[in-house]
Amino acid sequence: MSDRSAALFSTPGTDFAAALATPPLPNLRRIGGEMFAWSDRDPERGPALPRGAVLRFLLGQVGGSGRTVLVAGPHADELVASLADAGAQVTWLLRSLGDAEHAAATHPGITVLAGAIGKLDPGTRFDLVVAADGVDRLNSAEGEQLPAAELIDRLVAALAPDGALVLTHDNLFGLQHTVRLEPGPRPDAAWYPADVHDDRRPASQEQLAARLTGAGLVVDAAYAAFPDPSAPTVLVGSGPLGDMSSPLRPWLAAALSQAFTAAFRRRPVLTDPRRLMARALRAGAEGTVAAAWLLVARAPGAGATPLRRHDVLIGDAEGTYAYELVRDGIGVRTSVLCPAEPLERAGLRRIAEPVALGAGAGYLLEERLLHLCAGYDLPALRTELGRFEAWLRGQAADGALTGPAALTGVADVLVTEAGPVRLPARWEPVEPVPLRTALVRAVWRFAVQLITAGHPHPWPVTSSAVDLTAVLLGMVGHRIDAADVRAAVQLEVAVETADHQLGLGEQGERVRHLLAVSPGTAPVDAEGYRELTEALWRQRYQASHLLAMMEWTEQIISSRDNTLSKLDWEIQFYRRSWAGRFLMVGRTGYRMLRRDGRKVVRRVLGRG
């Protein structure tokens, strides 16, 4: 039901005749097949709307003033508005009548079509067709259900000569589907899809590119999108995709880890997707398990200009900033594409231009430390931690850190031949941060990962993350106390607050949760069922040891109690009975004779 219809039937005393006489929206056209009691804007009933900085950047490249654009399917309002603000003539196709009315009222300068794509006028052509939501929500329950392959053909048919198509296609083998855990009622969009066994549906990036090529298009750029089709924050081009020798691999591993951490925070999943993603990267199979594939293709024509291809595009889900990782010889450099707007939150300032210095080939410090811990290589572990501590100390001035270095963790550092290099950051503190607090936070985060993720390390009996942090910092000559750990945890919560806008109650609960991390604690970010099971196993393991120690202690106490009772009985017997008294007197006399006899013998020997 549309917003106007809902208000009409829910408001007491409504004048229905006057409401029905309300003039229709001038920029809304119903083409047939529209769904009346339905909305694709409700996140509880279907996937979220496509959004993000990398999508805005790509659309800005292919859009422009005077171009006619068809936006097919539900998209975030700011994404569509960015096309209209650039001067394009935008037509927005939505299958939900209520969503169409909302879009027409919100964007009066955009033409909104309500209905199914099968009802689109075949004679209408557009310079740009955008289907960042894919093709699954272009069908309507009020009309014919077209398979995915035919829906792609309909999008291609809407292109004018020299026109461009931006298409995102969901990967049914993607990690977001592999780790999905949906207890309770299933949302409307999660029921058995009709085309899951459709042999014509493209099931890989190669098949999708072949489908577009077979339809007469030229694929200019192809990207593997991570971590979610609706909000891709990392796009990997075909160049570094699967190339194990590319210097972008360590940077890509860090970017994907950060992307999956942000996307799956506090979401119940079968297992931590970062583990699977790391294994796929080592196997060069990241494109196979990508959340989706984003292709930019163009129709042939005299004025067609190939689109520039990018190696790696990274941005945030809110659409505020984006940057590119570029291979520069044997090194890597960053290029800012969309600077962020100024923003301060929780004592942190968003970095407008996340720039990093160029670097040669290297390795991610976090991966190196995990490997050394698993191999019990304490000398090398001490060397790596000492190098990180020295580098962090070199960034400080008067014992304090400013800028992105103050929030640097071991997962944010790439170690090269020239030394450690900081990966691009999102936030920096407004006020300087003590060097000690920054160092404790970095090592404490690594200790939390060791414990909650069940990684092997040389100290399996460590009782908490605080103890393990103290051990690791002790290897490089630092001692910590409770105040240092609390300051580090509060800085970590400030970063989470800036990213996820936590309330005061959530911040306090988060601080208590992080301070109590122990070997039986579940993961503190991605709530994987497998990791929860491992945490439960560790809790049972510790509980069994505690029960065994309690039983052993009880046996020792019982044995000592029995021995003391026996001795007490003997003492009472000796004190109360005549025989015991004679024995006590005899033993006392024997002790006195023995003592005095020794004195006499010493005196005699001394005189002699």
Task: Please check whether residue 33 is in contact with residue 140, taking contact to mean a CB–CB distance below 8 angstroms.
Answer: yes
pLDDT at 132 over 70: yes
What number is the average pLDDT over the span 521-545?
A: 76
What number is the average pLDDT over the span 20-28?
A: 69
b (16+ CB within 10 A) / e for 194-216: ebeeeeebbeebeebbebbeebe
pLDDT at 531 over 80: no
What number is the average pLDDT over the span 275-301?
A: 90
Residue closest to 73 by CA, chosen among 177, 11, 178, 148: 148
What number is the average pLDDT over the span 90-105?
A: 93
pLDDT at 44 over 80: no
CA angle at 374 for the pair 370 and 377, rounded to the nearest 5°: 95
Task: Please check whether residue 27 is in contact with residue 50, taking contact to mean a CB–CB distance below 8 angstroms.
Answer: no
First-to-last C-alpha distance (Å) of the chain? 122
* DSSP assignment of 305-338: -PPPP-SEEEE-TTSS-EEEEEEETTEEEEEEEE
Task: Please check whether residue 539 is in contact with residue 521, taking contact to mean a CB–CB distance below 8 angstroms.
Answer: no
pLDDT at 356 over 60: no
Q: How many CB atoms lie within 10 A of CB 39?
A: 18
The Cα 57–Cα 338 span in angstroms is 7
pLDDT at residue 187, rounded to an integer: 58
pLDDT at residue 353, rounded to an integer: 66
Residue closest to 496 by CA, chosen among 318, 317, 322, 348: 348
The Cα 213–Cα 153 span in angstroms is 11
pLDDT at 12 over 60: no
Choice between 194 and 166, residue whose per-residue pLDDT is larger: 166
The Cα 494–Cα 407 span in angstroms is 10
Token pair listed for 487: 């300051």
Q: Which residues sit opposite 268 in a β-bridge?
A: 527
Least confident of 6-15, 106-115, 227-236, 353-362: 6-15
Domains and CATH numbers, the chain: 3-8+30-40+48-188+196-234+268-300 (3.40.50.150), 363-525 (no CATH)
The winner for highest mean pLDDT among 13-27, 71-85, 453-467, 573-587 is 71-85
pLDDT at 3 over 80: no
pLDDT at residue 441, rounded to an integer: 94
pLDDT at residue 194, rounded to an integer: 54
pLDDT at residue 470, rounded to an integer: 92
Residue carrying the six token digits 């890597």: 332
Phi then psi for residue 267, to 5 deg, are: -110, 125
pLDDT tens digits along 461-488: 667 888 999 999 999 999 998 899 999 9
The Cα 337–Cα 324 span in angstroms is 7
Residue carrying the six token digits 């990036």: 205
3-state secondary structure of 192: coil
pLDDT tens digits along 416-435: 877 888 877 778 898 999 99
Residue carrying the six token digits 């005393």: 13
Distances (CA, A) of 297 to 36, 38, 59, 211, 318: 33, 32, 12, 11, 26
Q: Which residues sit opposite 510 in a β-bridge?
A: none
To which H or E segment does residue 236 belong?
strand 234-237
Relative to beta strand 348-350, strand 400-401 is unpaired
pLDDT at residue 39, rounded to an integer: 87
The Cα 379–Cα 384 span in angstroms is 9
Across all residues in the chain, what is the average pLDDT? 83
pLDDT at 440 over 90: yes
pLDDT at 5 over 50: no
pLDDT category of residue 542 using cuts at 50, 70 and 90: confident
Q: Given CA atoms 102, 105, 108, 111 in this order, what sign does their dihedral have? A: positive
Residue closest to 120 by CA, chosen among 87, 78, 158: 158
pLDDT category of residue 539 using cuts at 50, 70 and 90: confident
Put simply, whether the predicted model's pTM sits higher than 0.75 gets the answer yes
Task: Please check whether residue 212 is in contact with residue 202, taking contact to mean a CB–CB distance below 8 angstroms.
Answer: no
pLDDT at 134 over 60: yes
pLDDT tens digits along 367-424: 899 999 999 999 999 999 999 999 999 988 888 998 888 999 998 888 887 788 887 7
Residue carrying the six token digits 């520069």: 328
Token pair listed for 392: 């962090």
pLDDT category of residue 195 using cuts at 50, 70 and 90: low
Q: Given CA atoms 525, 531, 537, 541 in this order, what sign does their dihedral have? A: negative
The one-letter amino acid code at 284 reads G
pLDDT at residue 4, rounded to an integer: 45
pLDDT at residue 8, rounded to an integer: 37
3-state SS record for 41-69: CCCCCCCCCCCCHHHHHHHHHHCCCCCEE
Choice between 359 and 122, residue whose per-residue pLDDT is larger: 122
pLDDT at 20 over 50: no
Residue carrying the six token digits 């829910």: 10
To which H or E segment does residue 262 belong?
helix 249-263
3-state secondary structure of 220: strand
Q: What percent of the chain has pLDDT over 90?
A: 32
> Which bin fits 503, alpha (ψ -120 to 50), beta or left (φ > 0)?
beta
pLDDT category of residue 184 using cuts at 50, 70 and 90: low
The winner for highest mean pLDDT among 107-121, 514-528, 560-574, 586-600 is 107-121
Q: How many CB atoms lie within 10 A of CB 154?
A: 19
Task: Please check whether residue 370 is in contact with residue 454, taking contact to mean a CB–CB distance below 8 angstroms.
Answer: no
